[in-house]
Amino acid sequence: MSQEFLFGRASLRILTTAAGFGLATLAPGAAWADVTVSHGYNFFGTLAYDADFDHLNYVNPDAPKGGEISIWAQGTFDGFNRYALTGNSAALANIGDEDMLTTFADDPTASYCYLCSTMEYPDDLSYVIFNLRPEVTFADGTPVVAADFKYAFETFMEKGIPSFRNAFGSFIDSVDVLGDHQIRYNFSADSPARDRIGLAGIIGPMNAKWFEDNELALDQAWTKEPMPGTGPYVLESYDYGRQIVYSRNPDYWGNDLNINQGRFNFDRIRIEYFADSTAALEAFKAGVYTFRTENTSRLWATAYDFPALDNGWVKKEELDDGSLGRNQSFIFNLRREKFQDIRVREAIRLMFNFNWSNKQLFFGLYERPNSFWEFSENAATGVPTDAEVAILQPLVDEGLLDASILTDEAIIPPTSGENRFDRRNARRASALLDEAGWVVNADGVREKDGQVLTVEFLESSPAFDRIINPYVESLQQIGIDAKLNRVDPSQEQERLRSFDFDMSTQGFSLGYEPSTGLKQWFNSELRDDTSRNLSGVADPAVDRLVDRVVAAETKEDMIDAVRALDRVLRALKFNVPQWQNSKHWVAYWDQYDYPDPLPPLALGQLDFWWYNAEGADRLKAEGALR
């Protein structure tokens, strides 16, 4: 099952987005000659689960099946292909996707066989063989065979986004079908060993006949149905711009798999579409949908006082979220010449007053992120360690970094006073802009070489108006022609895809054991071929540090390299860190239950929560829900 569906975090699919040598009879985890046969893989450590575990530690294996959970989505949709280069894909369009390997919410750095039963790989990791589960079928009952995986790989290499092709083309030399249920991926000799098996493992099967019968291609918008998948849910119905319903497939091939015990418990998943979060909340209060994850502090603090909550029909809970911090930020588009001067970026950073915003707008509910790896051992803190200095020194010697990186503490966002307009920071920002040549003209606006310094914030969510507008006002007070341009979600996506923006919002999900995926975020050569590097970071020191992270052969080396990278990324000041929350804010009509405790890395409401029929009957009997 796609990690994006299960855990609500970006799946690796975004990068697009001699038959077994006689080893298949060996017990999982056994080795013969230089070949290992196992049910899972972890480059740096051991596996938390053995091959014959009964169920995941964080699920209720006796959870009942049945009922419906309904959630909301913002905006609209016009198709079901999340790989299309145009349009807006439907919510949970990946619900039928399953990968060869999967990751668990309590063991995030390991990969376990899902569509395969075992994998085989030599000590040098020059290839991996996946032995497929023969019971795997597409939702229509068509058996899945090894050729379906090869077809998927070739399709992505031909029709996938350039960054996907660049990544996979440099890793996988060839794919061999060794039999109906056995496939081999041969890796490039110069590809990073740490990522090889994991990358091959995110390739799921594709049904070539479906593409041929419907005369469709991967990069086209599919308007009627998702691509056939192998997952537990299938499309039941949809109404463009209003609603999507997925239903559980009773004939799902993986019903009896140990990995799936206590999971996929709802018969139906319904998504209702609304223009914005406020409208969606009013619909939730009325019972139009039944589960809501709140992401707006104002609403969480002030809007949950309706009768259904007061009389116990709706539960409101703050559940611990142990996930890696996302460092949600306003980002600069470094492709714009005006933002290539770090003094301009620093001046604009100084004018976002988090302290005032948190007190006046966020009800004191947030903290500010510092690191790109917040809440993890990868975050840089204080002055560099000796190991970090050893990594950074050659880059200083080559003139790629300023020597201050070796002695200064890791950059943290500017601090501000209690007033919205911080005069001290405004003086610092004005001095930086003057130094950069952006001087105030007779109209009170900063200009350079006859051009006015403009800053447009691109945003589709009305919830950001009250946050961005004070920021805009502060920038205007120091002579910057700033404005908020709120557009609809489809316009926002098109402009972000074409890098047609000054500043926007992005969250950075960089992983516990980051590796090649970092090139999607920060690599110079890929910066205009990936949807992740929206800022357009293109820095030779960053490129070298990313390569160092990718090449790490021990966890200690990886941590040191990531901390050095974190330190340099923060020093570039290409983002304005916003806020973060270490809780899941959830409200739901009292007809659902969840395992207690939850795993640290997943809320899992669509994965391992379940329907409480007694609670639902009570709500109906009391007239709360129909």
In DSSP terms, 192 is beta-bridged to none
Mean pLDDT of 602-611: 97
In DSSP terms, 350 is beta-bridged to none
- Give CATH for domain 329-577: 3.10.105.10
pLDDT at residue 545, as a whole number? 98
Q: For residue range 77-113, what is the model confidence (pLDDT) as tens digits? A: 988 888 877 778 899 999 999 999 999 999 999 999 9
Q: For residue range 118-172, what is the model confidence (pLDDT) as tens digits? A: 999 999 999 999 999 999 999 999 999 999 999 999 998 888 767 667 666 788 9
Residue 590 has φ and ψ, to the nearest 5°, of: -75, 65
Candidates 235, 228, 232; CA nearest to 211 is 228
Give the whole-angstrom CA distance, residue 478 versus residue 488. 29
Q: For residue range 533-542, what is the model confidence (pLDDT) as tens digits? A: 999 999 999 9
Q: Is the pLDDT of residue 13 over 60?
A: no
Mean pLDDT of 553-577: 97
pLDDT at residue 2, as a whole number? 37
What proportion of the chain, given as a percentage, has pLDDT over 70? 93
Cα 581 to its chain centre, rounded Å, is 16
pLDDT at residue 189, as a whole number? 94
Q: For residue range 191-237, what is the model confidence (pLDDT) as tens digits? A: 989 999 999 999 999 999 988 888 888 877 767 788 899 999 999 99
Q: For residue range 23-53, what is the model confidence (pLDDT) as tens digits? A: 333 444 444 458 999 999 999 988 999 999 9
Tokens 């049945």 sit at which residue? 66
In DSSP terms, 587 is beta-bridged to 292, 316
Q: Is the pLDDT of residue 526 over 90?
A: no
Q: Could you please report the per-residue DSSP string of 78-135?
A: -BS-TT-SSS-BPTTTTTT---SEEEETTEEEEEEESSEEEEEEETT-SEEEEEE-TT
Q: For residue range 250-279, what is the model confidence (pLDDT) as tens digits? A: 999 999 999 999 999 999 999 999 988 899
pLDDT at residue 81, as a whole number? 86
Q: What is the pTM of this model?
A: 0.85
Mean pLDDT, all residues of the chain: 91
Q: What angle do CA 166, 167, 170 make, to 5 degrees?
A: 80
Tokens 């108006």 sit at which residue? 465
Candidates 325, 404, 334, 380; CA nearest to 577 is 325
In DSSP terms, 486 is beta-bridged to 459
Task: Give me the numbers of helices (H) and strands (E) for the chain, helices first please.
Answer: 18, 26
Domain spanning 3-59+93-214: CATH 3.40.250.10: no
Question: 350: Cβ–Cβ under 8 A, 6 or more apart, which residues?
Answer: 414, 422, 425, 426, 428, 429, 432
Q: Is the pLDDT of residue 9 over 70?
A: no
Are 247 and 268 in contact, with CB atoms under 8 Å apart?
yes
Q: For residue range 566-599, what is the model confidence (pLDDT) as tens digits? A: 999 999 999 999 999 999 999 999 999 999 999 9
For the chain, what are the domain ranges?
3-59+93-214, 329-577
pLDDT at residue 6, as a whole number? 38
pLDDT at residue 29, as a whole number? 45
- 473: DSSP letter: H
Q: How far apart are the first and last CA of the chain?
A: 32
Give the whole-angstrom CA distance, residue 6 versus residue 600. 14
Q: Is the pLDDT of residue 16 over 50?
A: no
**Burial annotation 546-577 (CB, 10 A radius, 16+ → b, else e):** bebbbebeeeeebbbbbbbbbbbbbbbbbbbb
Lowest mean pLDDT among 88-92, 327-331, 394-398: 88-92
- 64: DSSP letter: P
Tokens 């995941």 sit at which residue? 56
Here the tokens at position 62 are 């006796």
pLDDT at residue 17, as a whole number? 29
The amino acid sitting at 230 is T
